A = this chain, B = another copy of it.
Amino acid sequence: MKDKFKEYASRMTAPREAILEFMSRSSTHLSAKEIYTSLHKKHPGIGMSTVYRTLDLLARMGLVTKLALGDGQNRYEFKAKDKSDHHHHLICTRCGTIINYSEFLEEELTLVRKTEKKLAKKYNFIIEDHNIEFLGICEKCKGSEKI
């Protein structure tokens, strides 16, 4: 891992190690502040700036995904190298709940690849990633509908 860091022109430091370790252990979609706060218990020294800078670095390294959901703060999620970790999102527009789903149909993956190829050619684009999200009302919010 130290090597991977160097590749991105960086020294391996304690804060970076702590943040990466923390991210790799959490499975949710966390805001920078949530990460900062959680980390603060064991690592009181780590500042907010470093959290942002490191998350940005990890995103560039491809170890973390940055999610923009339009609620005023970005969220970050660890991305295992393991392909089986790849997933898409189901987002509740009422309460913000995010569900990961990865029970893809084979068709789904095949089609994504086919579409990528088509778009890359037509628009002369290098396609590196994709986001697919379905928006709606979650189970809980459905329940507390009538007020």
Contacts and interface: CB of A to CB of B under 8 A. Distances in A.
A131 interface: yes
A115 to B, nearest CB: 7
B105 A123 contact: no
B134 A119 contact: yes
Interface in A81-112: 90, 92-93, 99, 101, 103, 105, 107-108, 111
Copies of this chain assembled into the complex: 2
Interface of A is mostly: mixed
Given A70-B66, A130-B133, A101 B114 contact: no
Interface string A37-74: 00000000000000000000000000000111110001
Interface stretch (A9-17, A19-27, A136-144): A136-144
A2 B116 CA distance: 42
A147 interface: no
Given A70-B74, A105-B114, A134-B119, A125 B90 contact: yes
B90 A119 contact: yes
A81 B97 CA distance: 28
Contacts of A124: 138-139, 142
Contacts of A139: 123-125
B142 A134 contact: no
